[in-house]
Chains A and B, each alone.
Chain A
Amino acid sequence: MASLSRSLTHFTKLGPLLQGTRAVTQVPNVSQRRTFTASKPFPVAQYGGRFTVTMMPGDGIGPEMMGYVKNIFRYAGVPVDFEEVQITQDSTEEEFENALICIKRNGVALKGSIESKYGDVSSGSRNATLRTELDLFANVLHCKSYPSVRSRYSDVDIILIRENTEGEYSMMEHENVKGVVESLKIITRKGSERLARYGFEYATRNGRKKVTAIHKANIMKLSDGLFLETCRNVAKEYPEIEFNDMIVDNTCMQVVARPQQFDVMVLPNLYGNVVSNVICGLVGGPGLLSGRNYGHHFAVFEPGTRNTGLSVAGRNIANPIAMLNAACDMLEHLKLHYHAELIRDAIDQTLNVDMIHTTDLGGQATSLDVVQNIIQVIQASTKENKW
């Protein structure tokens, strides 16, 4: 009964958001990829059979990564056209508005990270402003160990659901007296509730057993207290999912000692930033994982740790896997599962079978080596297709 009323109330709002995830009935074990054969049907045509997606390369390694994505999409025959919009810190307000309109028109975007010039206090971070303007309230990061990547822990499988629009990133600061700066952290019940609900729905639909809320309510009693209380209230509606909470500094200690104890974590903005970077570091670094940002109307896909990678830009050593995983997430969101599978299997083979690792994973390969191997695998798989 409870679950029926729950689905009726929330399915309409959250349904589209959760379609990017694999439903339990289709793929019971998310880690098993469907091996694909040459006799797959053609994709169902929609609006002429092709999708248009906004592409924002950003700074640093963004432009070269986007180049690889476009290249691989061409070889895989992906029916997606990219509308490129370049936004940097120096872009005018009008250009930024146009970029937002472009994303709103297409509904889906693939994004690199925009570098911030933090000496300038007049404008906020472009990345954060984009997320608030599009109301992308949930950032989902699936941290899963890769079998062939050398890391200290090999069986990590944690889903991080991080609040993306409020909290410490509200960017409201003022200097009332010279030398005294106040920065506001805003937590709302509405924001916490929709995030918690997203977290529990995600856990339910993907066969997850436990949700942990991360907070610092012993010190910030009102703000994190509100977040925690809201999570607890939502947890009552999902009695089959185990719920517990943990203080953020204890979480960091536990994650470093025993990450297998965590399943799904629900976090406010800043703690999400810290914990996601800690876990990404444990799994193998910033070059592997992708992050998905969901709102009620729009979805934006990007590399998980949101690095601009300025130190490795233009040197052919950056790891393209993160951006390619983000591109595959985007394809799944668009329901282009055949192509998503095709590219994911190629990535899987390149990393785990052919063992082509870039320097951040301890190997010697260049970015182009990785991309070319992926293309070769795709070409071999699609030999039978008479396109």
Chain B
Amino acid sequence: MAGRLCKSLIGSVRFAGARKYSSDVRKVTLIPGDGIGPEISAAVQKIFCTAEVPISWEEVDVTPVKGPDGKFGIPPAAIDSVNRNGIGLKGPLMTPVGKGHRSLNLAIRKEFNLYANVRPCRSVEGYETLYRDVDVVTIRENTEGEYSGIEHEIVDGVVQSIKLITEPASRRVAEYAFQYARNNGRSKVTAVHKANIMRMSDGLFLRCCREAAERNPDIKFEERYLDTVCLNMVQDPSQYDVLVMPNLYGDILSDLCAGLVGGLGLTPSGNIGEGGAVFESVHGTAPDIAGQDKANPTALLLSAVMMLRYMELPKHALIIEQACFETIKEGNFRTGDLGGTAKCSEFTDEICKKIEDLKS
């Protein structure tokens, strides 16, 4: 316990040191992942190379290894790498089925104390769904809430699951939501809750959001019930801007918004922690198309673009993002999941070509 405390303190000191040198080449930990992970990571690396982004990649493997205490965990080398660099980019991971392996995503989240999950969902021109005007960002509390994992069977046939809401965590994520809104030119933050039923827990969350709203008077703030947001999101998504909410509602709503724009294959995602951040693609490993050059790297690419904005490299972020959206819009080089026939490498090359054009 004390050891972990010291380690986290030392870790945060290291972060502060690493962040100061922002004009140099920054190191970023890359976790390629399983299935289609390696190919889409390679695609992203190639695109970044073409765009001349001042980043050097440090690849690590997070396959669980048996620690000295017999339990499976992330290898210490990977942990040290992310602690050192403060930024990570993660491909899709497959949690092995069976006892003894905790969900890897959960383990990474806990290890690096990633308290906010940010998922911007924007309609992609060229991949039309029934919803044209979606531009929503869901910010979800990532550490507690319904996913605290505290469950007991009280008597046979009666199970209780505990939803934990704490003031520091709620305050943190609320403050981050307003900060994000300000940094990204957003005008409104909506707190989503169910405080009519869960009065104390969501009431606490709501109170923290209100306090954060008072400290940030330049951003509009409103609070809505979860069911109202769901109802309205499906009818008219343009009325929402930034949504902030506890863990479970965030999980469902962020996937709902992803569904509105075309699925998880086009949605970036970032997990923000106190000293660093890990950006990831949230789709699955797609083992059926792994290794066949059919994968769509858009999700991981857009997550990497989010990462560039976090690292305060907005010019490179804009070039890469523009190239990506234009390629999809033109439609000649779309991968299979978007209804085209292009290979992953063709798609990547086309984006690289566009970046060359945009740079000159």
What residues of chain A have their CB less than 8 Å away from a CB belonging to chain B?
116, 118-121, 124-125, 128, 152-153, 168-169, 171, 173-175, 178-190, 216, 219-223, 226, 248-250, 252-257, 270-271, 273-274, 276-278, 280-282, 285-286, 305-307
Q: With A118-B195, A152-B130 in contact, is A182–B231 under 8 Å at CB? A: no
Residue of A nearest to B236 (CB): A281
B111 at the interface (CB under 8 A from A): no
Give 6 A-B pairs besides A220-B147, A257-B263, A281-B232 with Cβ atoms closer than 8 angstroms: A124-B197, A173-B199, A190-B157, A277-B230, A281-B233, A306-B227
Check A179 against B166 for contact (C-beta < 8 Å). yes
CB within 8 Å of A: which of B155-203?
Answer: 156-168, 194-203
Check B197 against A220 for contact (C-beta < 8 Å). no
| Number of residues from B at the complex interface, CB < 8 A | 55
Q: With A249-B252, A286-B231 in contact, is A186–B160 under 8 Å at CB? A: yes
Q: With A182-B163, A223-B159 in contact, is A252–B252 under 8 Å at CB? A: yes
CB within 8 Å of A: which of B110-150?
Answer: 129-131, 146-147, 149
A187 and B256 alpha carbons, distance in the complex (Å):
25
Check A219 against B200 for contact (C-beta < 8 Å). no
Q: With A168-B163, A182-B163, A220-B161 in contact, is A274–B227 under 8 Å at CB? A: yes
B226 at the interface (CB under 8 A from A): yes
Residue of B nearest to A122 (CB): B199
Q: How many A-B residue pairs have CB under 8 A?
A: 168
Contact partners of B168 in chain A: CB under 8 A: 179
- From residue A96, how far is it (CB to closest CB) to chain B in Å? 16
Contact partners of B202 in chain A: CB under 8 A: 118
A182 and B152 alpha carbons, distance in the complex (Å):
14
B241 at the interface (CB under 8 A from A): no
A189 and B248 alpha carbons, distance in the complex (Å):
23
In-complex Cβ contact of B198 among A168, A188, A252 (8 A)? A168
A190 and B158 alpha carbons, distance in the complex (Å):
8
Check B166 against A256 for contact (C-beta < 8 Å). no
Check B235 against A285 for contact (C-beta < 8 Å). yes
Check B230 against A278 for contact (C-beta < 8 Å). yes
B153 at the interface (CB under 8 A from A): yes
What residues of chain B have their CB less than 8 Å away from a CB belonging to chain A?
129-131, 146-147, 149, 151-153, 156-168, 194-204, 206, 226-228, 230-235, 248-249, 251-252, 254-256, 258-260, 263-264
Q: With A252-B259, A307-B228 in contact, is A171–B198 under 8 Å at CB? A: yes
Contact partners of B234 in chain A: CB under 8 A: 256, 277-278, 281-282
Contact partners of A248 in chain B: CB under 8 A: 252
Give 6 A-B contacts (CB < 8 Å), ordered by A residue. A118-B195, A181-B166, A216-B248, A222-B152, A252-B255, A305-B231
Residue of A nearest to B260 (CB): A256
Contact partners of B227 in chain A: CB under 8 A: 273-274, 276-277, 305-306
A281 and B204 alpha carbons, distance in the complex (Å):
29
Q: With A253-B258, A281-B235 in contact, is A222–B201 under 8 Å at CB? A: no
Check A175 against B200 for contact (C-beta < 8 Å). yes
Contact partners of B197 in chain A: CB under 8 A: 116, 124-125, 128, 168-169, 171
Contact partners of A186 in chain B: CB under 8 A: 158-160
Check B256 against A121 for contact (C-beta < 8 Å). no
Taking chain A's interface residues, is the majority helix, strand, or loop, or is none over half, making it mixed?
A: mixed
Check B152 against A183 for contact (C-beta < 8 Å). no
A273 and B194 alpha carbons, distance in the complex (Å):
11
A175 and B164 alpha carbons, distance in the complex (Å):
10
Contact partners of B263 in chain A: CB under 8 A: 253, 257
In-complex Cβ contact of B161 among A187, A190, A278, A282 (8 A)? A187
A171 and B196 alpha carbons, distance in the complex (Å):
10
Check A118 against B203 for contact (C-beta < 8 Å). yes
Contact partners of A183 in chain B: CB under 8 A: 162-163, 165, 198, 200-201
Residue of B nearest to A281 (CB): B234
Check A222 against B203 for contact (C-beta < 8 Å). no
Residue of B nearest to A182 (CB): B162
Contact partners of A118 in chain B: CB under 8 A: 195-196, 199, 202-203, 206
Check B231 against A278 for contact (C-beta < 8 Å). yes
A281 and B149 alpha carbons, distance in the complex (Å):
32
- From residue B213, how far is it (CB to closest CB) to chain A in Å? 16
- From residue B195, how far is it (CB to closest CB) to chain A in Å? 4
Check A184 against B231 for contact (C-beta < 8 Å). no
Check A223 against B251 for contact (C-beta < 8 Å). no
Residue of B nearest to A120 (CB): B199
The 4 closest A-B pairs by CB, nearest first: A281-B234, A253-B259, A179-B167, A189-B157
A254 and B151 alpha carbons, distance in the complex (Å):
29
A254 and B162 alpha carbons, distance in the complex (Å):
28
Contact partners of B146 in chain A: CB under 8 A: 168, 185, 219-220
A273 and B227 alpha carbons, distance in the complex (Å):
6
Check B151 against A181 for contact (C-beta < 8 Å). no
Most chain A CB inside 10 Å of its own CB: which residue of B131, B147, B195, B235: B235
- From residue B196, how far is it (CB to closest CB) to chain A in Å? 4
Contact partners of A255 in chain B: CB under 8 A: 259
Most chain B CB inside 10 Å of its own CB: which residue of A173, A273, A286: A173
Check A121 against B252 for contact (C-beta < 8 Å). no
A220 and B200 alpha carbons, distance in the complex (Å):
21
